[in-house]
Structure 1
Amino acid sequence: MHYNFDEPVIRKNTNSFKWDKFDKSVLPMWIADMDFQSPPEVQTALQQLVNHGVFGYTHEPAELIEVVIDRLEKLHNWKVKKEWIVLLPGLVPGIHASTQLLGGEFNSVMTSTPVYYPFMQAADSGPRQLQAVQFLKKGNKWAMDFDEMKAKATLDTKMYLLCNPHNPNGRVFSRTELEELASFCLERDLLIMSDEIHCDLILDESKSHISIASISPEIADKTITLLAPSKTFNIAGLGCSMAVIPNLELRNAFRKATYGILPHPTAFAYEAALAAYKYGEEWRKELIAYLKQNHDFLLEEVNKIKGLEMLPLDATYLAWIKYEGNFEGGIEKYLASHGLGVSPGEQFAGDGFFRLNFGTQKANVEQAVEILKKAFA
Structure 2
Amino acid sequence: MSGDGDMTDFDLPIDRHSTGSVKWNRYAGRDILPLWVADMDFRCPPAVLAALHRRIAHGVLGYGEPSAGLLDAVTGYLRASYGWSPPPEALVWLPGLVVGLNLACRAVGAPGDAVISATPVYPPFLAAPRLAERTLARVPLRQAADGWRWDFEALERALTPRTRLLLLCHPHNPVGRAWTPEELRQLLAIARRHDLLICSDEIHGDLILEPGRRHVPLALIDPAFAERILTLMAPSKTWNLPGLGCSFAVIPDPALRRRFRREMAGLVPPVNVLGLTAAEAAYRDDGRWRADLLAYLRGNRALLRDWFGDSRRLRWICPEATYLAWIDARAIDPVDPLPAFEALGVGLSDGRDFGCPGFVRLNFGCRRALLAQALERLAPLR
Q: TM-score range by the shorter chain?
A: over 0.9
- The residue aligned with 1:131 is 137
Amino acid corresponding to residue 363 of structure 1 in structure 2: A
Amino acid corresponding to residue 8 of structure 1 in structure 2: P
Runs of 4+ in 1 over 4 A off after TM superposition: 326-329
Post-superposition offset of 1:327: 4.5
Counterpart-to-counterpart distance in 2, 1:103 and 1:209: 29
Secondary structure in 2 aligned to 1:253? helix
- The residue aligned with 1:271 is 277
**Any conservation in 2 of the 1:108–1:131 contact (CA below 8 Å)?**
yes
Secondary structure in 2 aligned to 1:105? coil
- The answer to whether 1:20 aligns with 2:57 is no
1:147-186 equivalent positions in 2, closer than 5 A: 147-186=153-192
The partner residue of 1:320 within 283, 303, 326 is: 326
Greater CA drift, 54-63 or 167-176: 54-63
The partner residue of 1:5 within 5, 10, 15 is: 10
Counterpart-to-counterpart distance in 2, 1:312 and 1:5: 22
**Any conservation in 2 of the 1:303–1:310 contact (CA below 8 Å)?**
no
- Cα RMSD of the aligned pairs, angstroms, is 1.4
1:1-377 equivalent positions in 2, closer than 5 A: 2-22=7-27, 23-279=29-285, 281-327=287-333, 330-374=336-380, 376=381
Q: How many residues align?
A: 376
Amino acid corresponding to residue 25 of structure 1 in structure 2: D
Counterpart-to-counterpart distance in 2, 1:176 and 1:338: 42
Counterpart-to-counterpart distance in 1, 2:191 and 2:375: 41
Counterpart-to-counterpart distance in 1, 2:307 and 2:328: 14
Counterpart-to-counterpart distance in 1, 2:213 and 2:338: 32
| Distance 1:304-1:24 versus aligned 2 partners, 3 A rule | same
Counterpart-to-counterpart distance in 1, 2:306 and 2:317: 10
| Distance 1:148-1:327 versus aligned 2 partners, 3 A rule | closer
Post-superposition offset of 1:311: 0.6
**Any conservation in 2 of the 1:29–1:340 contact (CA below 8 Å)?**
yes
Post-superposition offset of 1:206: 3.0
Counterpart-to-counterpart distance in 2, 1:62 and 1:261: 25
**Any conservation in 1 of the 2:109–2:164 contact (CA below 8 Å)?**
no
**Any conservation in 2 of the 1:39–1:280 contact (CA below 8 Å)?**
no
Amino acid corresponding to residue 266 of structure 2 in structure 1: G
**Any conservation in 1 of the 2:313–2:332 contact (CA below 8 Å)?**
no
Amino acid corresponding to residue 176 of structure 2 in structure 1: G
Amino acid corresponding to residue 148 of structure 2 in structure 1: W
Counterpart-to-counterpart distance in 2, 1:238 and 1:300: 35
| Distance 1:329-1:26 versus aligned 2 partners, 3 A rule | farther
Counterpart-to-counterpart distance in 2, 1:158 and 1:73: 30
Secondary structure in 1 aligned to 2:341? helix
**Any conservation in 1 of the 2:334–2:357 contact (CA below 8 Å)?**
no
Post-superposition offset of 1:212: 1.0
Amino acid corresponding to residue 17 of structure 1 in structure 2: V
Structure 2: stretches of 5+ with no match in the other structure: 2-6
Counterpart-to-counterpart distance in 2, 1:328 and 1:293: 30
Counterpart-to-counterpart distance in 2, 1:30 and 1:81: 37
Structure 1: stretches of 5+ with no match in the other structure: none
Normalising by structure 2, report the TM-score: 0.96
**Residue-by-residue CA offset, 1:353-372 (whole Å, 9 max, x unaligned):** 10000000000110111122
Secondary structure in 1 aligned to 2:237? helix
Post-superposition offset of 1:69: 1.1
Q: What percentage of residue pairs aligned between the two structures are identical?
A: 39
Amino acid corresponding to residue 143 of structure 1 in structure 2: R
Normalising by structure 1, report the TM-score: 0.97
Counterpart-to-counterpart distance in 2, 1:160 and 1:39: 34
